[in-house]
Amino acid sequence: MTQRTALITGAGIGIGRSAAFALGAAGDRVIVTDILEREGQAVAEEIVAKGGTAEFRRLDVTDTANAETVVSAVEEDHGPLDVLVANAGIAHKAPLETMSDETWDLTFDVDLKGIMRVVRAAAPGMRKAGSGAVVALSSIMGVAYGWDEHVHYSAAKSGVVGLVRGLAVELARAGIRVNGIAPGYIRTAQALSEEHSLGPAGLEKAAEFIPLGRVGEPEDIADVIVFLASSSARYMTGQTVVVDGGLLVGRY
C-alpha cells in the first residue's frame, strides 16, 4: 500500500505529540508542525529513530500565508495530504470582566479559525485525490460543559463542532471525511497549568468524579485519532466523538 501523508498541527507537545507517534507507528509519513520548533523537531526525530517516516515544518495556524505555504510545500514533496489532524489550540484564563477583545480574538484565531485555515489549504489537493480524512480537536467544554473564566475557549470549541458538521457536508461528495474529538480531562501541559487551568492538584481531584477513575492520557486521544483517520471509520463523517472516561454521562 502507498504510504499515507498525515499532517498534524500543534504536534510538538501533548495530544498532538502523541498523535504523531501513533500515526508514525501505524506507518504514515508524519508531517509534524508547531510554532514550538525545538519540541516539534524532537518529535520528528524520535519517530525516525523508531523506524518511522517524519519531518518537521514550522506552522503558525494564525498565519494564513504560512498555512498555505506549508501545505503547498508538503504537497509538492509528497502529494496531497491523506490525513489532517487539526489539533493546535490554546486555553488562557480570562474572567469576563477583564477579558480584552485581543484575548477573545486570539483564542478564536488559534482554536477555531486556525482549523479552517489549514483545512482550506489542504482541501483542494484532497478533492483532486478524491479522498482524505480530517480530524479536528474540540473539547467537552465545546459540547456540554461550561467553563468559568474560559468563556472564549468554550465558545471557540463549540464552534469547532459546527465547523466539523459544515465541512463534513461540504466535502463529503469529494470523498473527504471530517470528524472531531471532544476530549475530557487529559494530562497535558495545558491542563497542568495552574495559571490557566486546573493544575496538578485540580487534575487529580477531577479523577474522583470520572467514572473510569482516572484522568485521560494523551495516548487515549491519539488512538481515537488513528481510528477516525483510518478506513475503519470509512462511513463516519460530521461526528464529534466525546472521549472523557464517562465524565459527561456520569454527571449529567
If we measure between CA atoms, which residue out of 211, 132, 225 comes closest to residue 180? 225
Rg of the chain (C-alpha set): 17
Please identify which residue in the block is written with the cell numbers 475530557.
184
Q: What is the DSSP string of 133-173?
A: EEEEE--HHHHT---TT-HHHHHHHHHHHHHHHHHHHHHGG
Determine how many CB atoms are found less than 10 A away from the CB of residue 234: 9
| Predicted TM-score of the model (pTM) | 0.95
Helix or strand run (H / E) with residue 84:
strand 83-86
- The identity of residue 168, as a single letter, is A
How many Cβ atoms from other residues are within 10 Å of residue 105's Cβ? 13
Cα–Cα dist 211/138, whole Å: 21
Domain residue ranges of the chain, discontinuous segments joined by +:
5-186+218-245
Q: Please say whether the beta carbons of 96 and 151 come within 8 A.
A: yes
Cβ-based neighbours of 68, under 8 Å, separated by 6 or more: 121
List the catalytic residue out of 145, 153, 185, 252.
153
Return the ∠ at Cα 196 (arms to 162 and 249), rounded to 5°. 50
Q: How confident is the model at residue 188 (pLDDT cuts 50, 70, 90)?
A: confident
Q: Is 5 helix (H, G, I), strand (E, B) or coil?
A: strand
Of 33-37, 48-52, 85-89, 207-211, where does mean pLDDT reach its minimum?
A: 207-211
pLDDT single digits (tens) 192-212: 666 666 667 777 888 888 999
Inter-residue contact 107 to 69 (CB < 8 Å): no
CATH of region 5-186+218-245, choose from 3.40.50.720, 1.20.1250.20, 3.40.50.1100, 3.20.20.20: 3.40.50.720
Nearest alpha-carbon partner for 242 in 198, 150, 160, 180:
180
Give the separation between CA 140 and CA 100, rounded to whole angstroms.
Answer: 24
Examine the residue annotation and report whether 235 is marked as an active-site residue of this protein: no
Q: How far is CA 179 from CA 28, 51, 83, 86, 167, in A?
A: 19, 29, 11, 10, 9
Choice among 104-108, 210-214, 225-229 with the minimum mean pLDDT: 210-214
Question: Residue 158 and residue 24: Cα distance in Å, rounded?
Answer: 29
Nine-digit cell string for 176: 473527504
Condensed to tens digits (0 to 9), the pLDDT of residues 122-177 reads 999 999 999 999 999 999 999 998 888 999 999 999 999 999 999 999 999 999 99
128 contacts: CB under 8 Å, gap ≥ 6 = 80
